[in-house]
């Protein structure tokens, strides 16, 4: 008989995602370094690959928002409290993607760092503990402002996050210099590009797009060009195989224009529109005046139930630059913050943008999320699975 291995772990919600969090030192020794053993361990923890698409035999939730693992360890970079490494596990293939960040789970990293003993809550100022996080996947700094009281993380509060059923305490995140330093904010040097695509994808063989490199490389197109209003819910897109194939073709065209090697998850693709009265996935009627624009984004080939945190950074950055499709959908002009509508409701994000030597630069993107521990203890996996 093969015994099971018990590994200390914490199951956390961060923003509109959930994941299994580990301290690096708690992992089995052969999984403490990158490689096949770590990948196989995380696949087994989540329950992938799963031909049934249900993650019954693992901790995953069979969606792109819930098939995630996180490793946190003491900071190795000057001026940072912790290192944060994120793995996205594919449901069907079990592939583990280490190439990007999860902006939603970033919210939980600061709270986990305090609870794990990496950051002293006594360092809090005015009830908030500042945790400087090195996001090791993409080499970026994230600053989390986590509420604390009596030496403990405050998890409960009145902050409401659309896409999450219950209120919690607000955590403010700052994504510092969110654009990839190896490339320009706009890789093509254009605020709007005309992408060539096959006639069967788009009548006329072209589509306008804003290609931006912030948070996650993102291809923004106009909802109207696709025959959408921008208020579509998941069922309208995810149940349409033709629509998903078209989005993948557009995403691929954007990736080629940006010079990105084709992968299954980067760049992201999203469509934008000016606000209209619409209904959210919870059934709430949202008047057009409550948001500045509407945005829908796809994650792992499916329309996201709310909005990926990294895509929210891209939205904030694009909205801050006059002339992008995102900025124009929001009404144009100079903007330091916007409130955008997504399938589950709305979210306010902000960004600081300026020009230097003819290039647009985003120094910081800011958003509020919440996080809490759902369960902690040990996760069990067969000893021969990694």
| Count of residues in the chain | 386
Closest CA to 355 of 184, 219, 215, 194: 184
Residue 223 tokens read as 């909802």
Distance from C-alpha of 93 to C-alpha of 67, rounded to nearest angstrom: 12
Question: CB count, 10 Å around CB of 319?
Answer: 29
Residue 102 catalytic?
Answer: yes
H runs (alpha helix) in 52-187? 103-115
Q: 12, 59, 69, 102: which is the annotated catalytic residue?
A: 102
Closest CA to 111 of 130, 134, 87, 126: 130
Distance from C-alpha of 327 to C-alpha of 348, rounded to nearest angstrom: 14
Distance from C-alpha of 62 to C-alpha of 233, rounded to nearest angstrom: 19
Q: 12, 202, 308, 367: which is the annotated catalytic residue?
A: 308
- Radius of gyration over alpha carbons of the chain, in Å? 20
User: CA distances (Å), 280 to each of 12, 230, 231, in order?
Assistant: 25, 12, 8
Residues classed as catalytic: 102, 308
């Amino acid at each position: 008989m093969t015994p099971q291995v018990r590994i200390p772990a914490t199951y956390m919600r961060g923003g509109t995602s959930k994941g299994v969090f580990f301290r690096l030192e708690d992992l089995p020794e052969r999984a403490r370094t990158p490689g096949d053993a770590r990948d196989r361990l995380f696949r087994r923890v989540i329950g992938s690959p799963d031909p049934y698409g249900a993650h019954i035999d693992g901790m995953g939730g069979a969606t792109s928002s819930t098939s995630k693992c996180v490793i946190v360890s003491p900071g190795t970079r000057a001026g940072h409290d912790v290192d944060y490494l994120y793995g996205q596990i594919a449901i069907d293939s079990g592939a583990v993607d280490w190439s990007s960040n999860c902006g939603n789970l970033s919210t939980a990293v600061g709270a986990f760092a305090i609870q794990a003993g990496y950051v002293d809550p006594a360092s809090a100022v005015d009830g908030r503990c500042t945790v400087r996080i090195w996001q090791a996947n993409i080499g970026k700094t994230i600053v989390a402002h986590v509420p604390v009281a009596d030496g403990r993380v405050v998890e409960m509060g009145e902050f409401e996050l659309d896409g999450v059923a219950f209120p919690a305490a607000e955590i403010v995140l700052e994504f510092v210099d969110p654009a990839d330093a190896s490339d320009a904010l706009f890789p093509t040097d254009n605020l709007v590009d005309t992408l060539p695509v096959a006639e069967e994808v788009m009548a006329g063989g072209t589509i306008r797009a804003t290609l931006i490199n912030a948070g996650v490389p993102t291809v923004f197109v106009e909802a109207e060009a696709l025959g959408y209003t921008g208020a579509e819910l998941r069922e309208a897109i995810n149940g349409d195989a033709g629509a998903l194939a078209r989005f993948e073709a557009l995403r691929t065209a954007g990736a080629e224009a940006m010079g990105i090697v084709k992968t299954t998850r980067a760049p992201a693709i999203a469509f934008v529109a000016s606000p209209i009265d619409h209904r959210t996935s919870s059934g709430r009627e949202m008047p057009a005046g409550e948001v500045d624009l509407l945005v829908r984004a796809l994650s792992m080939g499916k329309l996201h139930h709310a909005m990926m945190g990294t895509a929210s950074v891209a939205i904030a950055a694009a909205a801050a630059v006059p002339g992008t499709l995102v900025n124009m959908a929001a009404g144009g002009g100079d903007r330091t913050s916007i409130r955008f509508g997504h399938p589950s409701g709305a979210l306010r994000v902000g960004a600081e943008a300026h020009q230097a030597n003819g290039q647009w630069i985003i120094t910081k993107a800011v958003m509020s999320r919440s996080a809490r521990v759902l369960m902690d203890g040990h996760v069990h996996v067969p000893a021969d699975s990694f």
